[in-house]
């Protein structure tokens, strides 16, 4: 009996050891894949194809840390909502070019609005200047209240939006936009949101010119269309930002809305204080 027990314990010990070895190998493979994804992301951020003016802002926007927090990988299908001048697009496009897919949800190309025309023109000029970087980016449309087909429904692994929520609140289209982002994602897909933070977590920036937005308000907004909050990060916090400037957030860099007035002071503050939120579209 004792010998039988010894053999049984030995077998169970070997089985446990094999299981642990398998788990360790799987964990190591995941870490290696994650490490490789971050390495490729750093290469995209450090690329000589990015403009020096864009790179200067890395210290404020922390693109490697921000995108890593969201869990981006180079084989994902990603939607960037309202890329404007393409600051993040210049990182995402080369990162996703070989094994993933990038949709850039821009303004309505049929719009006659001056700002829409200018924003789309700037983005098209960027793409035309660097076709080797942007040739595989697919332009889609986010025109709140009109057309909001960011990507085929249920096709995206990740949707990203940077400093845009206040714009949709101004127009009263915020819930419709969040619903469109929800539709674009696969079950289990991730929504990454970065926005200027108001000191009042429930603040709603209804007036044009108010960009500092309530963090809890944004969480509630996302959850109202079905998203689940996964995590929040202090990556883009800036405690130097006093948020009491003559021309709002645009007083700070990179806009410097007051020109040379107190420019050194605003440069020392840096870009705005921002919250960084990670949401998931539930799997069921």
Instruction: Give the closest residue to 53 by CA, choosing from 120, 162, 102, 126.
Output: 126
Per-residue model confidence as pLDDT tens digits over 56-115 = 999 999 999 999 999 999 999 999 999 998 999 999 999 999 999 999 999 999 888 898
Predicted pLDDT at 155:
98
Predicted pLDDT at 146:
85
Do the beta carbons of residue 106 and residue 134 sit within 8 Å?
no
* Dihedral angle sign, alpha carbons of residues 71, 182, 152, 155: positive
Domains in the chain: boundaries: 1-46, 50-280
Domain at 50-280, CATH from 3.40.50.150, 3.40.50.300, 3.40.50.720, 1.10.1200.10: 3.40.50.150
Averaged pLDDT for residues 219-231:
98
Instruction: Give the closest residue to 73 by CA, choosing from 158, 193, 140, 182.
Output: 158
Cβ–Cβ contacts within 10 Å for residue 169, how many?
A: 25
Helix (H, G, I), strand (E, B) or coil at 33: helix
Predicted pLDDT at 30:
40
Helix (H, G, I), strand (E, B) or coil at 48: coil
Per-residue model confidence as pLDDT tens digits over 230-275 = 999 999 999 999 999 999 999 999 999 999 999 999 999 999 999 9
Per-residue model confidence as pLDDT tens digits over 2-51 = 544 445 444 555 555 554 455 454 444 445 556 889 999 999 999 988 99
- The verdict on pTM exceeding 0.85 is yes
């Amino acid at each position: 009996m004792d010998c039988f027990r010894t053999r049984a314990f030995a077998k169970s010990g070997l089985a446990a050891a094999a299981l642990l070895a398998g788990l360790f190998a799987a964990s190591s493979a995941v870490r290696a894949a994650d490490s490789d994804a971050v390495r490729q992301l750093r290469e995209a951020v450090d690329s000589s194809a990015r403009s020096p003016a864009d790179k200067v802002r890395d210290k404020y926007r922390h693109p490697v840390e921000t995108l890593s927090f969201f869990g981006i990988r180079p084989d994902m299908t990603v939607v960037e909502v309202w890329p404007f001048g393409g600051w993040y697009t210049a990182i995402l496009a080369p990162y996703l070019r070989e094994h993933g897919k990038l949709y850039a949800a821009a303004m309505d190309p049929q719009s006659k609005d001056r700002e829409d025309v200018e924003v789309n023109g700037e983005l098209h000029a960027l793409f035309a200047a660097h076709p080797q970087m942007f040739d595989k980016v697919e332009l889609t449309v986010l025109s709140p209240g009109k057309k909001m087909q960011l990507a085929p429904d249920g096709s995206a692994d990740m949707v990203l939006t940077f400093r845009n929520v206040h714009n949709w609140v101004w127009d009263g289209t915020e819930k419709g936009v969040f619903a469109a982002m929800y539709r674009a994602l696969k079950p289990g897909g991730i929504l990454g949101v970065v926005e200027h933070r108001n000191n009042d977590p429930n603040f709603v920036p209804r007036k044009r010119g108010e960009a500092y937005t309530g963090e809890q308000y944004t969480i509630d907004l996302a959850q109202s269309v079905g998203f689940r909050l996964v995590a929040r990060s202090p990556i883009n916090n800036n405690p130097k930002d006093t948020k009491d400037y003559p021309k709002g957030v645009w007083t700070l860099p990179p806009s410097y809305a007051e020109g040379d007035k107190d420019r050194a002071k605003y440069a020392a503050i840096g870009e705005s204080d921002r919250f960084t939120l990670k949401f998931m579209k539930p799997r069921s």
